[in-house]
Structures are given as structure tokens and as C-alpha cells.
Structure 1
């Protein structure tokens, strides 16, 4: 029998600032290469929400993209071993950049490396949940990334979108904010003149009439609109609303402004 969930999760964007626990996911193209400067503004917004009383978890891609220049490569490698090498180098640099920015506010970040498989292993699942809960209790801001040196499936698919949804469910987040290099979901790829912005997606909407685009123009990530929608649907099915918005608008997103695409959460549970 299905029963209605009693929850204080946001039902509209304007309620995001009052969320108890927020998961924010940012993609590779938004924090690497020419966009590495966006880390500062991203951290500003996260710290603002953190200071206002929300518990914040950041799921960040970007290890491979960050590591590529240090390996003297011209672009994203196609072979798995070199991708893993780039991730091993880039993860260290990426976390350093985040912590350097958080240091401006005296906020301590923690690095958590997970795979989707960890969420499926009961022992790993429990350990990750316990560690994240303790970090949040200590007012530490966790930064979660896929463990690209071992997570071969995640390297090829999803650019952490699926992992962000799984982490949201793991920590019982009140809202998931998926940041992208586009400002919202569109009925067709945004480059199509006939594309129209989708402001609201009801939980019952399967989006069968939407044509999804591929990886963004930067070409350094592995996600796309399709992976973000799949992640949003996964979180929404667990009762977690989702906002898809542009990385440059993260402050507006966390402030509850009417931007991006809002995915309604399922209000019923088994």
C-alpha cells in the first residue's frame, strides 16, 4: 500500500534556502580548463548556504579534465589507463583548488571517493553513510567524486550524475541541485532554434517528447542532458526534488530564484 510522505523537502524553488540538507553536483567542464575560475564563485555559494544553516555536500567531477594538462595531453584520452592516470593526478589538484577557496571562509572540506558500486555493496553503503553523517555533524563540507582509478563504468558513463543521485538518497537529502553548462532542460538541444525551455517536470512526466543532446561543447565530461534527466528521475523517485541549473547561476539556484528546470519529487512511498 502506498502512503503519502510527510516531509519538509522543498516543493518549489523558493523553499530551497530552508532545506536542511542539500547535495550540489558540478560537472567537469564547469571546474576545469577555461572555467577553473568558476570554483571560487561555486564555493562562495556553497559557503553561503552552509553559513545559513543548511548541510551541504558537493559532488564534483573534474579529476580527469584537471589532470590532462599535467600529462601534456591535447585532449581527453580515449584509453582507460590514461584516463585513470589523468584522474590520479587531477584529483589531488582539484581538491587543493577547492580547499584553497574554502580557506577564505575558514571552512574545512573533506574528500570522499566513491563509486556507484559502493552504493550497491551493503557494507560500503553503510560505511559511506556513517562517514558522511559524521562529517556533516562536525560542520565539515564533504566533496564527493567518483573513484576514477577503479570505477571504469563511471568513467565512461554519467559524469557523476548518477552518483550524485545515489549520494542524495544515501544521505536523505532534501534537494539535489544538478549544475550544468546549460541553463535548463530544453525540448530539443539548445542549439536548435525550435528548442523551448522546460521550467517544470511533473513526476509523472516521462519526457518522451524531449530530444536530448550529448556532451557539452567543452568535450571534457562524459555526461549530457540524458544522464542528468536519468539522475533527476532517480532522485525524484526517492522523494527528493531536483533543480537543474547553470553552474554560473549556482548562487541564484541556492537562493531559490525561478531559474533552471524543477523536477517534482514523488510524494508517495511504498
Structure 2
């Protein structure tokens, strides 16, 4: 008897989890400590179960804005990078504190686009991830906003952490990418504006029609939106991977997803028989 695509998620061993800025911060720009603590608990427990876990975390700029008491992101690249520098250290301090409570060691991995574009640096990145996972460390990944730029011929920026998480899932050959956002999944229209919006439970192909249904950017403190999530899903499907887009309001939902429950939208090339 063939397992359904959802049931097959129970077999996933290497899992990349991406959390958006809206998941770890309140709308007023302060850090959601309760969610960070729950996230540390869930990922540490997955590690205890024998899963290999990689966390791709947004939020450096948002945390930096809060720490510097700024109401909105600055316009210039140097100012943005300065804010990211402050926020990244603050964010890692918070993660270190929460994961320490569960006896889980973490490691920071800051990436720029050129790392995966050049074979030698790409191999070095892969080797780093493999060593961290072998030592039962949870890598926490973010784009290196302090040095990344995207202008003229010098493209070192991923553009958003949705795309980064899909690339990390690819180079580490992860079994599953779980993307936590502030929405329950991918809908045929905006569920915040239309109560008749229908959730896509499974998606097997990313089409122009799906992109037409997606629109807008994410929260005031983030850079993502539904289009960036479809781009990430497209990258995942191109390598026959799997991705679940779900609401990160309660990080323990990760347990339910891995248990094969029908939560969020599953992007998979593997159609159930």
C-alpha cells in the first residue's frame, strides 16, 4: 500500500524550517519571545528524536529596528546594513539563550549569493552544514545583510529568506522545507479580504496562474510575500523536493506537519496514488 504524500512526511529526516519576521515579531515591532521560546523547544525536541534540523530565520532587520528604536527601515544600503548588523547579534543572543535552556547547541551560518554560485565556496558551505549536522548542532541561517548588495554586476544578495531557505534545502539535500508565515497556506485569493477564499491543500506544479493569484509584500518589518514563497516552492519542486507552507502562530504545528496531518499547503511533485 502506497503512502500518501502527507504520510510520507513522517519519514523525513533532514528538515529545513524557515520562520518569517512576522512569526518572531509582533506587529508593533517588538520581539515575540513566546514564539522564539516555543520554536527552540520544538526544534530541540526534533533533534532529540534524531531529526537533522536547519533553521533559516528572518528578523535581523526587524530586531535591529527595535533595538535602535527606529520606527521604519532606513532607505540607504549602508544604514540598512548597520541595522542588520545590530539586529543579527541581538537575534542570535536570543536564540542562544532559548536553545541553551533545552541543552541544544546552535551554530550561526551567514550566507551571500556568491557562496552558492561558485563551486568551491558552495562545496565549503555544504561541508560546513554536514559537519554541524553530524555534531548534532542546529545551524541557524540568515542572509549576511551586513555585506550583501544587489546592484550592477555585483549580485551577492538572495533577495529574501524564502528563496534562501529553498536554496539551503537544495544544497543540503533536505527531505522537507517547512515555511512558517502569518497565513495558513496558499489560497486562491486573499483570505484576509475574502472569507470564501479556498486553501490549496496540495500543489504539484507552479504555474503562471498561481503567480497571478499571489500578490503584495509581507509585513512592515519583513521583505517577503506570497510571490516569494511561490518562487521558493518552484525551486523546491524543480529538484523534486517537498515544502509545506503553514501558519507559524504556534510553532508546535511543526510536530503536526511532520506527523502527516493535513496542515497548510503541501508543495510536492509526488502525487498520492
Please give the TM-score of this superposition, normalised by the length of structure 1: 0.88
Of 261, 266, 271, 1:262 maps to 266
Q: Which moved more, 1:37-46 or 1:258-267?
A: 258-267
Is the partner of 2:16 in helix, strand or coil?
strand
The alpha-carbon distance between structure 1 residues 11 and 27, as it changes in their structure 2 partners (threshold 3 A), is farther
1:71-113: CA deviation from partner (whole Å, max 9, x where unpaired): 2311122222111001000000101111111011110000000
Alignment of 1:1-270 (within 5 A): 12-32=5-25, 33-37=29-33, 38-153=35-150, 158-193=159-194, 194-203=196-205, 205-206=206-207, 208-209=209-210, 210-216=212-218, 218-256=219-257, 257-265=261-269
The alpha-carbon distance between structure 1 residues 72 and 252, as it changes in their structure 2 partners (threshold 3 A), is closer
1:5-36: CA deviation from partner (whole Å, max 9, x where unpaired): xxxxx962333343110000111122233452
Aligned length: 256
Alignment partners' CA distance in 2, 1:29 and 1:151: 22
Alignment partners' CA distance in 1, 2:269 and 2:110: 27
Q: Which runs of 5+ in 1 are unaligned?
A: 1-9
The answer to whether the 8 Å contact 1:156/1:222 transfers is: no
Alignment partners' CA distance in 2, 1:157 and 1:106: 32
Name segments (4+ residues, structure 1) moved above 3 Å. Answer: 153-158
Alignment partners' CA distance in 2, 1:156 and 1:29: 21
